[in-house]
Structure 1
């Protein structure tokens, strides 16, 4: 493998001049630059990333800590971040934690040892232990995107989930549905609770009764949508529509409905939340509430790069506004059907 000395010898210059050409740290005459570049190409020379990082005090790498990369919503954010990192010339180290404080600490230690330029943390909620751990790495440029309660230690994503829950429910009501069920995530989580509150407000505003027998709590997984929908389907009276608080639970709910010999939306309409990429390929294509995962990932990374370059220091709030995406899983009822 060629060394910087080999390049210098072939180009007839010093190793210092080769370094200046590679790192662009000092003016070098165009003719001399070309000799160095030709030698680099001919020898297939690649500078040591470790040695170079020690010299210029940057590794052009970023760490990303997430609860899980399996959930489609987070996977799409991760994809946007990785793509934008690549375009900016950065490498990305991805760490899954399952919100385990020990794993968070180990990952942060590892990322610090690798001398990453900054860390992007994306979790759905934070425990006190994990927040304390993050504060121990305050010297490392970091963007902490927090869906949980407002916390002075973290940046904040304001995703307007209440508005999204209201919007989803209102869409069902405008399509003639008065008997509406809800499959929600863990109501101890902020995201699930605010979407639930939006649902309740829309029902009350329309003077509709919230039937507690049609309110089911899961954990934002497809299995939860399936099991919760089955609990609704065994009841004597069924809702004509169900709001599922994320798209993967909607998928589970649709599967349960189909297994009972019923169909969506003819028998029961379904609306989801998040507008994950796969939702347009559900059968039928899923009506859902859109949140821009690409925009969120890029905004978070842009803020981190500003912090790395010393251009941003204050705690930041990023806002996302939900939008309705109408597809085929919600049917408009006639007045006769609505009053049955």
Structure 2
């Protein structure tokens, strides 16, 4: 049976060059590519996927580790990653950490034992540094998605969380809201810190003070801080609007408000970061800072495959995707009753 070594010898190139021609990867001159292909035809060479993986020490398998597959943002991101991986001839293994560091570590241990060629990694938070260092120590390429991790230099695809938050809060301020609550993710997550920074910047630009009693830190996956919400509503000057730092927090907030007899936006306006996927177009309601979720996955996958196929060290690349303000029916000017309460 003809092997790539036979092809390489006759074409006077390395086995690696033949492999790159077979897999259509790497940078090869067109003349070399044509010469190798001609020899392959002459020798009736049929590529063998198992042999290719042994020569290249590649499995053509990649891993995508995200924090919450039930969140439409990550569901759409996963589709972008999978479509792009398939286009380049890779298969994708999925993992879901549920924003849990222990579960994330278990998945990284599994990734290390599976021999994947690279990982798209949406970190649970700052403490994801240790499992990322494990990947680094085992020389497994990875790209960070959505979140940065202090102390880790890597390729990454991020959203402009700060600017998106500033736009959302600025929209509420333009409507006349002066008491705007922030229900945020955990402070050890980079996107939560950036959305908090955008919230503060919008107030600063408008010349408005920030009341720390209006800021709540929760968990991105769910909102169960009923006592914290009750505390907001019982303030002497309660908020007239709420900025939920992601779509799941917004759903929890709206459900909790309705259970307490509050209407959105008649009694309180609500805005949030991230949209709700295709279903949102059927009944648009929430005003959001919408992110390019599909592009997160697709671009991240392209960066990862380029890193895997590169013959030399590439410079670290950081892509920041802008968000879009989509104004819908969950926001309105504060009512006269709420305005008086807020100004009290």
Q: Please give the TM-score of this superposition, normalised by the length of structure 1.
A: 0.77
Residue 56 of structure 1 deviates from its aligned partner by 6.3
Structure 1 residues 131, 56: CA separation in 2 closer, same or farther (over 3 Å shift)? closer
Contact 2:214 2:239 in 1 (8 A): yes
Q: Which has the higher contact order (CA 8 A, sep 6+)?
A: 2
Further displaced range: 180-189 or 90-99: 90-99
Q: Which has the larger radius of gyration?
A: 1
Deviates further, 268-277 or 218-227: 218-227
CA shift at 1:55, angstroms?
A: 5.5
Q: Counterpart in 2 of 1:7?
A: none
CA contact (8 A) 1:63 1:111 kept: no
Aligned position for 2:184 = 184
What does 1:33-48 align with in structure 2 at a 5 Å threshold? Answer: none
**What does residue 194 of structure 1 align with?**
194
Q: Distance in 1 between matches of 2:231 and 2:171?
A: 24
Q: 1:203 and 1:279, CA in 2 relative to 1: closer, same or farther beyond 3 A?
A: farther
Residue 52 and residue 198 in structure 1: after superposition, are their counterparts in 2 closer, same or farther (change >3 A)? closer
Shift of 1:105: 4.2
Does structure 2 retain, via aligned residues, the 8 Å contact 1:228–1:253? no
Instruction: Give the secondary structure class of the aligned counterpart of 2:216.
Output: strand
3-state SS of 1:330 partner: coil
- Quote the Cα distance in structure 2 between the aligned partners of 1:154 and 1:233: 42
Look up the SS of the partner of 1:28 in the other structure: helix
Q: Is the 8 A contact 2:267 2:334 kept in 1?
A: no
Cα distance change, pair 231–222 in 1 and its aligned pair in 2 (3 A): farther
What residue is the counterpart of 1:314 in the other structure? 315
TM-fit CA distance, 1:332: 2.9
Tell me if the contact between 2:112 and 2:135 (Cα under 8 Å) persists in the aligned partners.
no
Contact persistence 1:287–1:326 (CA under 8 A): yes
**1:283 Cα deviation after fit:** 7.3
CA distance in 2 between partners of 1:58 and 1:131 (Å): 20
Does 1:66 pair with 2:66? yes
Give the unaligned 5+ runs of structure 1.
1-14, 38-46
Q: What residue is the counterpart of 1:326 in the other structure?
A: 327
Determine whether 1:99 maps to 2:112: no
Closer, same or farther in 2 for the Cα pair 1:84/1:157, shift >3 Å?
A: closer
**In the alignment, what sits opposite 2:134?**
133
CA contact (8 A) 1:176 1:335 kept: no
Classify 1:278/1:76 alpha carbon distance in 2 versus 1 (closer, same or farther; 3 Å).
Answer: same
Alignment of 1:10-159 (within 5 A): 16=2, 26-28=39-41, 49-51=49-51, 53-54=53-54, 58-97=58-97, 98-100=100-102, 102-112=105-115, 116-127=116-127, 128-138=129-139, 140-145=140-145, 147-159=147-159
Cα distance, 1:296 vs. partner? 1.4
The number of equivalent residue pairs is: 306
RMSD: 3.3
What TM-score do you get using the length of structure 2 for normalisation? 0.76
- Contact 1:159–1:319 (CA under 8 A) maintained in structure 2: yes
CA–CA distance in structure 2, aligned partners of residues 189 and 122 of structure 1: 11
Structure 2 distance, partners of 1:261, 1:146, is 35
Deviations 1:122-146 (A, max 9, x none): 21424242233122122x3332347
Q: Does residue 204 of the first structure (1) align with residue 209 of the second (2)?
A: no
Taking a change above 3 Å as real, the CA distance of residues 225 and 276 of structure 1, as seen in their structure-2 partners, is farther
Unaligned runs of 5+ in 2: 8-21, 23-35
Which residue number in structure 1 is paired with residue 31 of structure 2? none
Give the Cα–Cα distance (whole angstroms) in 2 for the partners of residues 199 and 91 of structure 1.
Answer: 40
The change in CA–CA distance for 1:155 and 1:102 in structure 2 (over 3 A counts) is same
| C-alpha distance in 2 between matches for 1:148 and 1:155 | 10
Question: What are the Cα deviations for residues 173-207 of structure 1, in whole angstroms up to 9, with x where unaligned?
Answer: 11111221111111232221221122122223323
Task: Indicate if the aligned counterparts of 1:62 and 1:91 stay in contact, CA closer than 8 A.
Answer: yes
When structure 1 is superposed on structure 2, of 241-250 and 215-224 the one drifting more is 215-224
